[in-house]
Chains A and B, each alone.
Chain A
Amino acid sequence: MIEAIDITKYYGDFPAVTGLNFSVEQGEILGFLGPNGAGKSTTMKILTGFIPPSSGTAKIAGYDIVEQSLLARRHIGYLPETVPLYEDMGVNDYLSFMGQIRGMSSSQLKKRVSKVIELCRLEEYSNTIIGKLSKGYRQRVGISQAILHEPDVLVLDEPTIGIDPIQVVETRQLIKSLGEEHTLIVSSHILPEVSMICDRVIIIHEGQIVAVDDPSNLGTSLSGIERVEIEVKGPNREILPVLEEVDGIQSIERIPVTGGAYHRYHITVDTGRDLRHDLAKAVVANGWELFKLQSLGMSLEEIFLRLTLEEEELPSPPGETS
């Protein structure tokens, strides 16, 4: 549905994005993750046809965004990061206008406008002047106009930025539900958000893709390590050496627990090995009580830091203690 082919964009001499290649299948929600200035917004502006790439191209629903811009644009709904809206128009009027310039007939418009107003829960404000709405409601109006014409592709740039926590939760649910009918690209710099909403994540840094994976896999496949949390009741001095004996363990970190009668450890193990069975056996064989044994993966925050900020120092090849 969306295909980016070697997209490169220079602002003067500055390369905003270089050689981006990715594709998004029908009905997929793709997360676009990166720190500020990574090139997320630039990529989205290119995909929606607002700015042309310096080289390379993209296809939206089969139409080339440079050569067949007008046709491609028919299939896109877009919410820019700044949520630009006409301040002095009413919500209803605004949506009708946006529908008209996307070629909707008046009967279609009537149906869809009331539908999206209901979907984005704007009923109370349908005649309010947009300039008087709060940030959260402006965001909803922004999403309303993006989905109004039932586009195949939805491009949402930082859709939850600057709105209050309750609305963030609602917006995420809304986005997730949109994934059933649309193909989505959602950018964010909030990691849990992306892992919550998206089927697949692209991590972008300094204009280049540094990783592509689904959120649950990112932890293991990229970092080369896997982590296990274990809680054991017993004497710490004896437990540690026993756990260290287990084959395949890279390192053990004791996590202080307040008020518990047990000890908690975070164990880093070799990639692709599930040592939970061995660990459990070692604990039980010594007559200690096992409280908890859980695979942790790696938090997206950690992966993110690894991949983007400390790339040079951190990547630890398997087998080496980190």
Chain B
Amino acid sequence: MTNLIAITRKETKAYFSTPSAYIVGAMFLVLTGVFFVFDVSKPFAEAGVRGLSDWSSFFIVFLAPLITMKLLAEEQKLGTLELLLTSPVREWEVVLGKYIASLLMLLAIQSVTFYYVFIVYFFGNPDTGPVISAYLGLILHGAAALAIGMLGSSLSGNQIISAVVATAILLIFSFVNRVSSLVDGAAAEFINALSMNAKLLDFSRGVIDLFNVVYFLSIVAIFLFLSIRSLETRRWR
């Protein structure tokens, strides 16, 4: 447990003391801000955060891998993984500690978007339920995306490759529902069940379905497990 805390603390400090996280975060906020403005300045715009949350979850597909790419890839490249793993530390402590730090970073970036929520409340009278469910969806989606990013980072010592692999996996999970029309019956249902986008739509509409929550948490668990395994097999190569 102390190892976990030490690793989380170190990585969090690294995020907030290096410029790359700020640059990536700023890019994300500019993009979501632009689309937020488009969305609320339409005629008869709805007072809500739907536009914001839809665009945020789209950009998270690109943001999350940028946040996680260095976590394990850099350790492999610099060789610091060798010192980390020859210390009395377990692989899961390394992966989980770093994952928590990336989650804190993402939450910090996302919390800046509360600014838009205040604007919406200031100028309009939005329905609070969907606002809360939309943010819950964003956090869960972000958590899942980071776990996938973690796996990408564990696979290569090259940060670019790590980010590209993770983005590719995320895009597949996002848009797999487009394929479901090609098949029918149970296969189509299964493909739809895998898709992230359909679930995010539910959250932004104000629906909190337990299945959807479990879905995202399962993705977190599965991909963190795979990351730990990937780190363990690194020793055996």
Binding site for B on A (CB under 8 A): 45, 48-52, 70-71, 73-74, 76, 78, 80, 82, 84-89, 93, 97-98, 100-103, 145
The distance in angstroms between the C-alpha atoms of A112 and B82, with both chains bound, is 22
A103 contact set on B, CB distance < 8 A:
2-3, 88
B83 contact set on A, CB distance < 8 A:
78, 80, 84, 98, 145
**B85, A50: Cβ atoms closer than 8 Å:** yes
Query: In the assembled complex, how far is the CB of residue B179 from the closest CB belonging to chain A, in whole angstroms?
Result: 39
State whether the Cβ of B178 lies closer than 8 Å to any Cβ in chain A.
no
The distance in angstroms between the C-alpha atoms of A51 and B236, with both chains bound, is 6
A86 contact set on B, CB distance < 8 A:
14, 78, 80
Closest to A86 in B: B80
**A50, B88: Cβ atoms closer than 8 Å:** no
Query: In the assembled complex, how far is the CB of residue B207 from the closest CB belonging to chain A, in whole angstroms?
Result: 43
Additional A-B contacts beyond A78-B82, A84-B83, A103-B3 (8; CB < 8 A): A71-B88, A73-B87, A78-B83, A80-B82, A86-B78, A88-B18, A101-B6, A101-B84
Closest to B234 in A: A51
Query: In the assembled complex, how far is the CB of residue A267 from the closest CB belonging to chain B, in whole angstroms?
Result: 49
Interface string of B78-103 (1 = CB under 8 A from A): 11111111111110000000000000
- Do most interface residues of chain B lie in helix, strand or loop, or is the interface mixed? helix
The distance in angstroms between the C-alpha atoms of A291 and B81, with both chains bound, is 59
**B78, A78: Cβ atoms closer than 8 Å:** no
**B18, A80: Cβ atoms closer than 8 Å:** no
B82 contact set on A, CB distance < 8 A:
45, 50, 78, 80, 84
6 A-B residue pairs with Cβ-Cβ distance under 8 Å, sorted by A, are A73-B87, A98-B87, A100-B6, A101-B88, A103-B88, A145-B83
Contact of A85 among B17, B80, B85, B87 (CB under 8 A): B80
Query: In the assembled complex, how far is the CB of residue A87 from the closest CB belonging to chain B, in whole angstroms?
Result: 7
**A84, B80: Cβ atoms closer than 8 Å:** yes
**B79, A88: Cβ atoms closer than 8 Å:** no
State whether the Cβ of B42 lies closer than 8 Å to any Cβ in chain A.
no
A93 contact set on B, CB distance < 8 A:
13
B236 contact set on A, CB distance < 8 A:
51-52
**B88, A70: Cβ atoms closer than 8 Å:** yes
A102 contact set on B, CB distance < 8 A:
87-88
A45 contact set on B, CB distance < 8 A:
82
The distance in angstroms between the C-alpha atoms of A122 and B210, with both chains bound, is 56
Query: In the assembled complex, how far is the CB of residue A161 from the closest CB belonging to chain B, in whole angstroms?
Result: 14
A87 contact set on B, CB distance < 8 A:
78
Task: State the 7 A-B residue pairs at the shortest beta-carbon distance, nearest first.
Answer: A84-B79, A100-B6, A48-B86, A84-B80, A73-B88, A74-B88, A101-B87
Contact of A97 among B10, B17, B81 (CB under 8 A): B10
Query: In the assembled complex, how far is the CB of residue A74 from the closest CB belonging to chain B, in whole angstroms?
Result: 5
**B3, A101: Cβ atoms closer than 8 Å:** yes
**A52, B235: Cβ atoms closer than 8 Å:** yes
**A78, B86: Cβ atoms closer than 8 Å:** yes
The distance in angstroms between the C-alpha atoms of A87 and B70, with both chains bound, is 13
State whether the Cβ of B208 lies closer than 8 Å to any Cβ in chain A.
no
Closest to B87 in A: A101
The distance in angstroms between the C-alpha atoms of A58 and B150, with both chains bound, is 33
State whether the Cβ of B67 lies closer than 8 Å to any Cβ in chain A.
no
The distance in angstroms between the C-alpha atoms of A82 and B3, with both chains bound, is 24
The distance in angstroms between the C-alpha atoms of A102 and B88, with both chains bound, is 6
A98 contact set on B, CB distance < 8 A:
83, 87
**A88, B88: Cβ atoms closer than 8 Å:** no
User: Which has the most chain B C-beta neighbours within 10 Å: A74, A76, A103?
Assistant: A103
**B14, A88: Cβ atoms closer than 8 Å:** yes
A76 contact set on B, CB distance < 8 A:
86
**A82, B10: Cβ atoms closer than 8 Å:** no
State whether the Cβ of B7 lies closer than 8 Å to any Cβ in chain A.
yes
A80 contact set on B, CB distance < 8 A:
79, 82-83
Query: In the assembled complex, how far is the CB of residue B1 from the closest CB belonging to chain A, in whole angstroms?
Result: 11
**B87, A88: Cβ atoms closer than 8 Å:** no
Q: Which of B58-80 contact A (CB under 8 A)?
A: 78-80
**A70, B90: Cβ atoms closer than 8 Å:** yes
The distance in angstroms between the C-alpha atoms of A93 and B80, with both chains bound, is 15
A88 contact set on B, CB distance < 8 A:
14, 17-18
The distance in angstroms between the C-alpha atoms of A145 and B86, with both chains bound, is 12
The distance in angstroms between the C-alpha atoms of A93 and B14, with both chains bound, is 11
Interface string of B3-17 (1 = CB under 8 A from A): 100110010011001
A70 contact set on B, CB distance < 8 A:
88, 90
The distance in angstroms between the C-alpha atoms of A70 and B93, with both chains bound, is 13
